[in-house]
Amino acid sequence: MLKRGVQRKYLAEFVYGSIDGTITTFAVVAGTMGASLSSAIVLILGFANLFADGFSMAISNYLSNKSQKELNTRHKHLHAHEKNPKKTAIVTFLSFVIIGFIPLLSFVLALFIPYLVPIQFQVSITLTAVAFLIIGSIKGKVIGKNKISSSIETILIGSAAAILAFLVGYLLKNLIV
């Protein structure tokens, strides 16, 4: 079992990666559904987002932490609990991809379970909401904040992004020839 300090040390990367992965992937799902595009398009755009954006976030995280570490060394501000840039990047990427996959899960399963096809978007909404609630609860527990209010905050942020993406897809669907 990890020590409590170690669990908290990479919490920011876990929460940031998980929330952003879930929000951006579900935004792709919602926007695609708003535009009335096919499930194949959802999967193509969803997986492209999942890996490209996850990689981008991990590299940005790595460079940011590496720069901060170099700056601290240059100015002789040594921090005993300084984060390892490679580990922060890995935690960010893995949480982004693993938790960010949840909005795509019903579309992947529908390839093998045909009765899911008519409800795959509703299942995606439900699974994504559960993911947001769990991420929010974990965040609340570790930082000592009320788990319910933390969960509600997380689901509201994710819902706002999804609604925006759905509306953009819906409003722009006539651009498709």
Q: What is the pLDDT of residues 91-125, one digit of tens each?
A: 999 999 999 999 999 999 999 999 999 999 999 99
Mean pLDDT, residues 149-158: 92
Cβ atoms 45, 123 nearer than 8 A:
no
Confidence check: pLDDT of 1 > 50:
no
Model confidence band, residue 5 (pLDDT cutoffs 50, 70, 90): low
pLDDT given at position 161: 92
Mean pLDDT, residues 128-154: 90
The structure's pTM equals: 0.87
Confidence check: pLDDT of 127 > 80:
yes
**So where are the chain's domains?**
10-169
DSSP state of 37: -
What is the DSSP code string of 75-134? TT---TTPPPHHHHHHHHHHHHHHHHTHHHHHHHHHHH-GGGGGGHHHHHHHHHHHHHHH
The residue assigned the tokens 């897809």 is 169
pLDDT given at position 109: 97
pLDDT given at position 80: 57
* pLDDT tens, residue by residue, 40-89: 999 999 999 999 999 999 999 999 989 888 887 777 766 656 788 999 99
The separation between the first and the last C-alpha atoms of the chain, rounded to the nearest angstrom, is 55
Please give the mean pLDDT across all residues of the chain: 90
Long-range contacts at 3-11 (CB < 8 A, ≥ 24 apart): 5/81, 7/142, 8/142, 9/81, 9/83, 10/83, 10/87, 10/88, 10/91, 11/139, 11/142, 11/143
